[in-house]
Amino acid sequence: MDDDMLFDDEAEAEARPRLPPWQVLIVDDEEAVHQVTKLVMSDFEFDGRPLQFTDCYSGAEAREVLGRGAEFALILLDVVMESEHAGLDLVRHIREELGNISVRIVLRTGQPGQAPQAYVLKAYDINDYREKTDLTHAKLSVVFYSALRGYRDLMRLERARSGLRRTIDAITQVCEAENLPHFCSAVLDQAGALLGHGGEGVCASRVDAYAAVARQGGLKVLAVTPGFAELQGESKLEGLPPEVRAAFERCMQERRGHHGDLHHASYHRTRDGSESFLYMAFSAPLRSEDRELLSLFSANVAVTYEKLQQREETMSTSKPVSLFEESDGRILAEAALRSITASTARARGEDFLRILVRDLGQALDVRYVIAGRVIQMADGEGIRTLAVWGGEDYLPNMDYSLKHTPCQDVTDQSMCFHGCGIQADYPEDTLLVDMQAESYIGMPMVDTEGKTLGILSALDTRPIDENKRLLALSLLSIFAARCAAELQHQDREALLEEKVQQRTEALRAAQANMVEQEKMAALGALVAGVAHEVNTPVGVAVTAASGLASYAEQMVGMLSGEKVSRSELTGLATRLKGAAGLVEQNLARAAQLIGNFKQLAVDQGTEHISELVLHEYVQGVVSAHSPELRKAQIEVKVDIAPQLRVRLPAGKFSQVLSNLLMNSAKHAYPNGGPGQVQVAARLEEDEGGAPWLQLHFADDGIGLAPGIRERVFEPFFTTKRGQGGSGLGMHIVYTIVHQMGGQVALDEQAQRGCALKVKLPLARFSASASAE
């Protein structure tokens, strides 16, 4: 078998229609953030739709893009860009000036200290807050799923709200019909208009269903659209097309409507046994919200159909009679909808629910309106009322069991209407007796996942007539959906508050360990550099040691012979001496590096106060950092008297010196060295005669710009954001010096580079040492 690799021919991917992508806006001033986001999310899809990204690198650029009317589902927004609060300013611009409350906004920040999470989530209308360091691929995917699902659900609610308004228009148009054929034609016309696109339909009826079946049919087609024109007047079930016949037969058998991928069938049965059917066929699958609109539309027009049928059976005159009074239908429904929508538009939470139940009670002229949430009780599910209107004022909230109540039927996601005799229908419901209820109508609050969250119901001490039923069903349907959205928002807000609390606690814990983690990170980098540096002398020593073995073997051979050449033996001894010298020299160098590193590591792990020969100690710290300093082409000069001895906590002092050296290596020479750092120290006494150590640290690099000088000791401030800078190095210097009772400040008199003056008290450490 040869080494050639064989490849299967790739099968062509099955062609499928591409859905429009989700529009995502990335607003961040770091190009790497744009690149990595698009890289890791390039194959992401949600609901079969991919992502399409738009890049903006400042808050101003994002304002311009959004101002052109571009619509986005998700905005990934940095906080600190052209200013420290550019991202937060953009959030207010989007929400308040543009009035866009739909787009999901996720803040991503590399500097959480600049915008504390709890404050931002409370003060700004954002949907999530993440630290860039916390956004792994998996966590970023979770953010996208959550945000896009929220945006999709909001859009569905908006479409449902718009569709419900169209439903009221369609119902009122249908209600103007004067006879059954006219009515059925209007139903088909308005069903198509309701969905915003065409469909072919058949409207039929059967009188006394069971007798009609026995007589092989008894079906009468009342109205058709042009696609079913040949069925007009058809009176035999067998004469219908197979798909229409199958749909009607299923409705008769199950006594309810149903739907398939490309059709919708509605069913209604009157009190006297008459049945009516509506069949609509579509060229493309309907969305779930379209089916909900059709179901609501069908349920409402069924009431009108029943009244028309009763009227045609009883009327002996052909004079048209209006089905509803002028106060019913479009005028009343539109007026009530506008009034309640206006009064609740800006209300949220409990205020929204209280206003809603009051206005619904007044619009429907009923005694009670209840908005409640489904809860778990000891004996099963129950209702906890959130707002109760009692005719003249609000009533106290309460909990009650769903057992043997009409509300139990509502929570099964069925609209419930009892025009009269509600107490007789539910004799075990004592609450109905206490309220003296005679009639009841209820609607479920169903969330975007299909779960029943609560109920919205109206009760009266008088019967509710059929004309008021249509208005009540319309209004309760619309505002039950709005209530469900409000409850879902409250649930998500509570979950968000819990997450905020958890993340705040995690942030406090992280902040408590951050300085220690930074020390360990610096120590880890030092380990890598020292390990690399030690390899060279150790490698030389290994080579030289192997040479020693070879030379020794040669010497043994010479000495075993009959004759030994003096010159050869002298040469071999010279080589042995040279190899031994190399081994000794390089092992000493490795030992020095390891010793310096060990001392630094041990010192930084303890607060023990030691007597330091300062010149040697500083030189050792510099030597431990020689790999990084040599890489940056920095030479360090130590200007400290050899005899100077001080008592200091060696660990803290070495950490200060290490951070200063690394700050110069990382920031002072952006274009590379050569450069020079000078470390000088001397003893001084204050006015009271107490000894202080004056340490002066200076480099000859690019120095500090005015805007940077004032912030050099701030936590998380760095000029290397996005390039590995943590912004903690100089803050740790400041913190440790102050913990030691000292002072640190920039040397304002320095002519070039960056210079700092560190002043440490020695008396306190001498006293501590004595106490020990």
CA distances in angstroms from 340 to 215, 319, 406, 415, 483, listed in the order given: 51, 37, 25, 21, 13
Residues 760/695, Cβ–Cβ less than 8 Å:
yes
Give the pLDDT band (50/70/90) at residue 471.
confident
d(CA 291, CA 286): 7
- Tens digit of each residue's pLDDT (9 = 90 or more) over 331-356: 555 666 677 777 777 777 888 899 98
Give the pLDDT band (50/70/90) at residue 323.
very low
In sequence order, what are the residues at sequence separation of 6 or more whose Cβ sits closer than 8 angstroms to the Cβ of residue 115? Answer: 79, 80, 85, 87, 88, 107, 109
Specify the pLDDT at position 587: 74
d(CA 680, CA 694): 8
* Mean pLDDT (the chain, rounded): 75
Domains of the chain, start order: 22-157 (3.40.50.2300), 177-314 (3.30.450.40), 607-771 (3.30.565.10)
The pair of structure tokens assigned to 635 is 């030479």
Least confident of 10-24, 652-666, 740-754: 10-24
- Tens digit of each residue's pLDDT (9 = 90 or more) over 551-568: 777 788 878 877 778 888
- Tens digit of each residue's pLDDT (9 = 90 or more) over 22-66: 999 999 877 767 776 776 677 789 988 999 999 998 999 999 999
Q: What is the mean pLDDT of residues 377-403?
A: 91
Does residue 113 carry a pLDDT above 70?
Answer: no
Please state, for a pLDDT cut of 90, what percent of the chain lies above it. Answer: 17
Q: What is the DSSP string of 639-651?
A: E--TT-EEEEEHH
pTM, full prediction: 0.37
DSSP assignment letter at 46:
B
d(CA 192, CA 195): 6
Specify the pLDDT at position 218: 58
Specify the pLDDT at position 316: 43
pLDDT greater at residue 592 or residue 321: 592
Does residue 117 carry a pLDDT above 80?
Answer: no
Specify the pLDDT at position 317: 45
In sequence order, what are the residues at sequence separation of 6 or more whose Cβ sits closer than 8 angstroms to the Cβ of residue 542? Answer: none
Residues 700/753, Cβ–Cβ less than 8 Å:
yes
Least confident of 92-106, 144-158, 547-561, 694-708: 547-561
DSSP assignment letter at 113:
G
Specify the pLDDT at position 136: 59
Specify the pLDDT at position 328: 46
Does residue 124 carry a pLDDT above 90?
Answer: no
Cβ neighbours around 133 below 10 Å, total: 10
Specify the pLDDT at position 637: 93
Cβ neighbours around 428 below 10 Å, total: 9
* Residue type for position 591: A
Does residue 754 carry a pLDDT above 60?
Answer: yes
DSSP assignment letter at 485:
H
Specify the pLDDT at position 734: 83
Per DSSP, the three-state class of 107 is: strand
- Most confidently modeled range among 127-141, 391-405, 488-502, 595-609: 391-405
Does residue 132 carry a pLDDT above 70?
Answer: no
In sequence order, what are the residues at sequence separation of 6 or more whose Cβ sits closer than 8 angstroms to the Cβ of residue 71? Answer: 23, 103
- Tens digit of each residue's pLDDT (9 = 90 or more) over 302-320: 555 555 555 555 554 444 4
- Tens digit of each residue's pLDDT (9 = 90 or more) over 665-685: 888 888 777 899 999 999 988
Does residue 385 carry a pLDDT above 60?
Answer: yes
pLDDT greater at residue 677 or residue 583: 677
In sequence order, what are the residues at sequence separation of 6 or more whose Cβ sits closer than 8 angstroms to the Cβ of residue 211? Answer: 218
The pair of structure tokens assigned to 512 is 């408590």
Q: Which residue has the tokens 């034609």?
A: 185
